[in-house]
Structure 1
Amino acid sequence: MAKSYRRLNLFMAKPLEDGQTFSNLLTDAPVDTYSMADILGIDGILYVKQSAAKRPSWGSLLDEVTGHDVTDLENRSSSAVLLLRVDGDIFAFTFGYGRYLIEQSLFVQDFGLRTALNTLDDKSLRSVDLHTLEDQPVQKKSQAARDSEVSIFGIDILRDVLRAVTGVPKRGVSLMQISGGDALFSFGVEMDATDFPAIARQIKGYYINDEYKTSFAWVDNVRKVKDAVSIDALNAQLVHAVSTRNPELMVTLPEIGSWDKILGFSFTRNKDVVRPVINSADYIATISDLTRITIEGLKRDRLFVHDVDGNITEHPVYRCIYFEIVNGDKTKIIFDGRWYEVDGTFISRIVKTLDLIQISTLTFPAVEVWDEGGKSKIESEGDYNTRAATAHGYFLLDKKLVKTDRTTSPIELCDLLTPAKQLVHVKHRKGGSAGLSHLFAQGGVAAEIMLGDKAFRKKTRMVLRGVSPTASDLVPLDTFKSTDYEIVFLILGEGSATLKQNLPFFSKVNLSKAYENLTQRGFRVSIAGAPTTPRLTP
């Protein structure tokens, strides 16, 4: 047979349990089964999804626009998977949408990425996909115009998890244009039909070596939790978080989506209710008895992704959950159905930086709490800022916005400004890590713009003059010195003594980053807490 260039996608299955066959590796989608040609001598089966033509969802809109039925609007997606047994291992070559025919939890989860890192030239990368371990999951894809070194992609090796990479193979690797991410390894090769077993055997050899540690050792800074006992214990805590409606639990797409084509999302037991955004509360609302939720249930339940062409893809909810668990100096995070442990070096660096941040010497009132109509209430940030300004003679700048061409919208200089040039930024602790990270980012952005933008300082002086005739002098127009200012992050709902150690993990990360950035520019930085106190009734 003549060899020709092919682009192939390959997965490697975990060992089958006793009595299981190839079909146990598939989802429940209806398939047609084809045996292998006897002449090839291949131990395998081809599965092809039974599919019917569908009219795209936007067809009815075109009917309405034209006033009659528009014909020849049909979509048909093709899906196939070739399962082979080679030297006792089982491999899946997928074609079209074939990756959605296999139950991916039954395949080796780091097969694609590790194989790619073992075979790629680290100086000839084309693109990287990253998941940044932040208070909110951020997925990023960076693509270079030409073959580039890994340093070009701006990877933060202490926070970024490498999820996929594409590039040119290193010398001696007989493949072309390699991509790998999680369980999927994709590559180009000159081949014919008889070569499938040899290709699978060759790539298994690439997977099992450790050559990646020469150039990509940093990928182990965030490690996967592999011990079954540890995973079971973490899963038990995850089930508890779902059953108690923990607000820190998020449901998100486990891979970068084509948002220009996504119509919306739905969940098992409510598949026809399509919403434009993913909300964990929508999923939890579909569960009638939260006391009976299990990990198996999270794996069975699906997040459905509806696109504008009428196609529906799905992901196990377990794979879509993002949640962090902090236990002492250990931080575990689940994302894309896998648990990660943050490297101790990273945590040690954060702790050392936090130790440098002083507790503010300013005086702040406690935050008032009370019961109203049988519900617990807590003082709003706006009311608190007004009361603190009045009680201590601070200038109230909450919601006093200043326009600047360096941000997409006007910003606050701070919430409270003291006569001693202390800029106080205020946020509730109850808002969780996302709100606190916004607080630290807000303080950093405002200080940097004030330092480097004379036009911003001019507008700020006008705003300050409207607050008090003497306040504008606190921000000079031409002789601004960062060393004259202190940035104070005030967190409502907890006292200063326990504040730093009780911050959510990624809030600690962002506070340490803000501290390093601001102090490098000459600003002083401190933090303060305001505990709660019962409101006195008149």
Structure 2
Amino acid sequence: MNRATHRTSKPAVRPAGRRDSRRPDVHQPSLFDAPPNTAPTTYLTTVYRLRVEPTYDGLATALNLRYLREHGFAPQQRTVGDSPALLLQGVVARQRADWCDALASLTGEEVALGYSNGGAALLLGVDEHVYALTYGTLGRFMVADSAMDPTFGIEFAVRALVPEDIRQVRRRVMGTRGRVDRSLVPGGTHIRMYGIDKWGEIVGQITGRTDNPTLTECRRTGRPMRVTGSDSLQLRLALSPDGLRDDLREVARVCRQASPLADLEFITQIRPVRPADPRLAALTAELDHQLGQVAPTDIGVAVPGHAADAVDQAGSYTIRMPRSGRRRSVYADLELADLLAHSRGVPDGQRWTSLRTGQVTVCADAAGRDEIATAPASRWLTAQLAHGTSQLMLHEGHWYEIGDQHRRFLRDEVDQILSRSSDVHLPPWPLGENERIYNERAAGAGMVLLDRKLLRTAQHHRGIEACDLLGPSDELVHVKRADTSAPLSHLFTQGTVSVDALLHEEDARRALIEMVARQSGRELAPDFRPRKVVYAIALGRGRPVTTATLFTFAQVALYRAVKSLRTEGVEVEVIGIAAT
């Protein structure tokens, strides 16, 4: 090979992995670089659907005017394609960050740094709908909550997401104050794998992928697109006016014409009602009216989730309610009539506000001095009211809308539970006889009296009731008298808490065996495990226990209790107690 040929056979450029300090630093393309000279055609956008008219005047009614005035942001009329639009944009500057003082205190040196937050919102009308596209930290705050449609994001998601490719779910558990669970599967899985309780959990946000070639991003990439649905939608929307219009029209078409997918439809059946929902004024007025009555039919008293353990140790309850004309009062048991006695003294139109600022406190002693749990009085009420064709339920101070299909399916499940016969029989319960005396009398028929006798364990150091009566075949019998079905949700929870302790806590089993021996001389097996729970219920005025006499929330609580107990191999029976 001659010298010239050898030279031309060498590479003209050094390998990319080596750096030559004599050459300029040339950027090597990576997998994540966009192709040169190619502008993006879509952008990840948060979009809300607004309940206003698609005109400039209508768009103006959706603005958060207080926020805009506070920061000096002014809306500007625009058109996007042929759609009327309002553009809002601005920056909020902070001269000094809150954490500067913390750093200065720790280091002894002055730290003075500020920052700015920016954002924008674009409100536009497309056909009969109005949307708000929000950007940055501040964009969301430029739009009034009262104008937003809280069903929008979920409504699209249950019709568009692939059920087998759900990436994230956020849900609120009914019956447990404030508990919110978030489950994340980065690679996606079927919605069934999230183990959502269809009857007692509310899905507030769901993330997955949609494969809709009409949407710009799916058509551009030829792949499914990630979408998050809640009260808003987060998805990639086209950046051209015509493309954006077409994307929003497709979103509207899916919401209007597509049926919810079978595996996702349950998500729509219980929905929280937003604080700005226009129906709340009428609901509050009706609730206020019923709170002024002696015996309202649609209201009951219920135990907040965080106070459930405390109720087992209750020696008394205290009620304090502003503007009622009554002093703080002490009661041996908490009845709806006690709360109503206070609420009736509050002026018309102020009762719900008074309940929200008032307090119900659980006390360990009879005098109402040893406080062990407290909550706003509003959280101790449950209600089920109709508004037009809607059924709405009040639970722990929040309103929920119940779908027709949910009520029908739930009713069918509860009918099956109530139809089971039982070998446990209890005597009639005379009107006016309190629960303690009734249980003492019922214990004479082969039962062991365990009412108000607490099992104190490492897990439950304040104590829990194993049951009110231990049946002839070691059934755990829980007894409750209720003028309405609302207090029963706590009864059902008691059954699951007791079984959980007796199955999984050795000290609870040992305490129960010793307690039963002391009370009756009956010997339980050293390896005792509960096999059956019986809920014995006496409803006011001698009504039978049916789906027609149980509030929806009581049905939900019963269904969840049965599901939980059967998972542990424990059977459940519900019996009615006759009234005399």
TM-score range, shorter chain: 0.5 to 0.7
**How far did residue 415 of structure 1 move?**
2.6
Instruction: Give 1:350's aligned residue.
Output: 414
Whether the 8 Å CA contact 2:269–2:402 is kept in 1: the answer is no
Amino acid of the structure 2 residue aligned with 1:239: A
Residue 498 (structure 2) aligned to one of 421, 446, 449: 446
Report the identity percentage.
Answer: 19
Instruction: Give 1:372's aligned residue.
Output: none
Per-residue displacement from partner, 1:481-500 (whole Å, max 9, x unpaired)? 866xx533344673665344
Whether the 8 Å CA contact 1:360–1:526 is kept in 2: the answer is no
The residue matched to 2:168 in structure 1 has which SS?
strand
Instruction: Give 1:281's aligned residue.
Output: none
State the number of aligned residues.
448
CA distance in 2, matches of 1:91, 1:357: 55
Instruction: Give 2:189's aligned residue.
Output: 148
What stretches of structure 2 of length at least 5 have no aligned partner? 1-37, 219-224, 292-298, 306-341, 357-380
The residue matched to 1:464 in structure 2 has which SS?
helix
The answer to whether the aligner puts 1:325 opposite 2:382 as a matched pair is no
Structure 1 residues 453 and 42: alpha-carbon distance in aligned structure 2, compared to 1, 3 A threshold: closer
Instruction: Give 2:449's aligned residue.
Output: 395
CA distance in 2, matches of 1:455, 1:508: 32
Instruction: Give 1:494's aligned residue.
Output: 540
The residue matched to 2:94 in structure 1 has which SS?
coil
CA distance in 2, matches of 1:209, 1:48: 35
Instruction: Give 2:318's aligned residue.
Output: none
CA distance in 2, matches of 1:458, 1:249: 32
Residue 457 (structure 1) aligned to one of 498, 501, 509: 509
Per-residue displacement from partner, 1:234-286 (whole Å, max 9, x unpaired)? 9645422135556759999xxxxxxxxxxxxxxxxxxxxxxxxxxxxxxxx9x
The residue matched to 2:525 in structure 1 has which SS?
coil
What stretches of structure 1 of length at least 5 have no aligned partner? 226-230, 253-284, 302-320, 370-378, 533-538
Instruction: Give 2:288's aligned residue.
Output: 242
Structure 1 residues 431 and 348: alpha-carbon distance in aligned structure 2, compared to 1, 3 A threshold: closer
The answer to whether the aligner puts 1:503 opposite 2:550 as a matched pair is yes
The residue matched to 1:114 in structure 2 has which SS?
helix
Give runs of aligned pairs for residues 292-331 of structure 1, distance below 5 A: 292=349, 323-325=383-385
The residue matched to 2:415 in structure 1 has which SS?
helix
Amino acid of the structure 2 residue aligned with 1:94: T
Give runs of aligned pairs for residues 343-422 of structure 1, distance below 5 A: 343=405, 344-356=408-420, 358=422, 360-363=424-427, 366=430, 368=432, 379=434, 394-396=448-450, 398-403=452-457, 411-418=464-471, 421-422=474-475
**How far did residue 210 of structure 1 move?**
0.2
The answer to whether the aligner puts 1:9 opposite 2:74 as a matched pair is no
Instruction: Give 1:127's aligned residue.
Output: 168
Whether the 8 Å CA contact 1:354–1:508 is kept in 2: the answer is no
Residue 130 (structure 2) aligned to one of 64, 68, 90: 90
Whether the 8 Å CA contact 1:333–1:341 is kept in 2: the answer is no
Whether the 8 Å CA contact 1:243–1:293 is kept in 2: the answer is no
Per-residue displacement from partner, 1:479-528 (whole Å, max 9, x unpaired)? x5866xx5333446736653445333222333345456657836463434
Whether the 8 Å CA contact 1:354–1:512 is kept in 2: the answer is no
**How far did residue 436 of structure 1 move?**
2.4
Task: Please give the TM-score of this superposition, normalised by the length of structure 2.
Answer: 0.61
Task: Please give the TM-score of this superposition, normalised by the length of structure 1.
Answer: 0.65
Amino acid of the structure 1 residue aligned with 2:191: V
RMSD: 5.1
The residue matched to 2:252 in structure 1 has which SS?
helix
CA distance in 2, matches of 1:76, 1:35: 22
Residue 72 (structure 1) aligned to one of 107, 112, 136: 112
CA distance in 2, matches of 1:399, 1:410: 9
The residue matched to 1:345 in structure 2 has which SS?
helix
**How far did residue 166 of structure 1 move?**
0.6
**How far did residue 212 of structure 1 move?**
3.8
The answer to whether the aligner puts 1:117 opposite 2:158 as a matched pair is yes
Per-residue displacement from partner, 1:364-423 (whole Å, max 9, x unpaired)? 654747xxxxxxxxx5x6676567658987433523315377x89854322333555343
The answer to whether the aligner puts 1:27 opposite 2:64 as a matched pair is yes
Give runs of aligned pairs for residues 96-111 of structure 1, distance below 5 A: 96-111=137-152
Instruction: Give 2:369's aligned residue.
Output: none
Instruction: Give 1:204's aligned residue.
Output: 252
**How far did residue 11 of structure 1 move?**
1.9
Instruction: Give 1:179's aligned residue.
Output: 228
CA distance in 2, matches of 1:515, 1:524: 6
Instruction: Give 1:429's aligned residue.
Output: 482
The answer to whether the aligner puts 1:291 opposite 2:348 as a matched pair is yes
Structure 1 residues 48 and 412: alpha-carbon distance in aligned structure 2, compared to 1, 3 A threshold: same
CA distance in 2, matches of 1:289, 1:355: 43
The residue matched to 1:239 in structure 2 has which SS?
helix
CA distance in 2, matches of 1:393, 1:322: 33
Per-residue displacement from partner, 1:180-226 (whole Å, max 9, x unpaired)? 113x111135746885445434433444340643653444555999x
Structure 1 residues 247 and 79: alpha-carbon distance in aligned structure 2, compared to 1, 3 A threshold: farther
The residue matched to 2:130 in structure 1 has which SS?
strand
Structure 1 residues 70 and 337: alpha-carbon distance in aligned structure 2, compared to 1, 3 A threshold: farther
Structure 1 residues 291 and 382: alpha-carbon distance in aligned structure 2, compared to 1, 3 A threshold: same
CA distance in 1, matches of 2:79, 2:552: 58
Whether the 8 Å CA contact 2:78–2:87 is kept in 1: the answer is no
Structure 1 residues 291 and 79: alpha-carbon distance in aligned structure 2, compared to 1, 3 A threshold: farther
Residue 403 (structure 2) aligned to one of 332, 341, 348: 341
Amino acid of the structure 2 residue aligned with 1:446: S
Per-residue displacement from partner, 1:108-155 (whole Å, max 9, x unpaired)? 443322223343222111112335566978654322242111111112
Structure 1 residues 166 and 86: alpha-carbon distance in aligned structure 2, compared to 1, 3 A threshold: same
CA radius of gyration, larger in: 2
Amino acid of the structure 1 residue aligned with 2:411: I
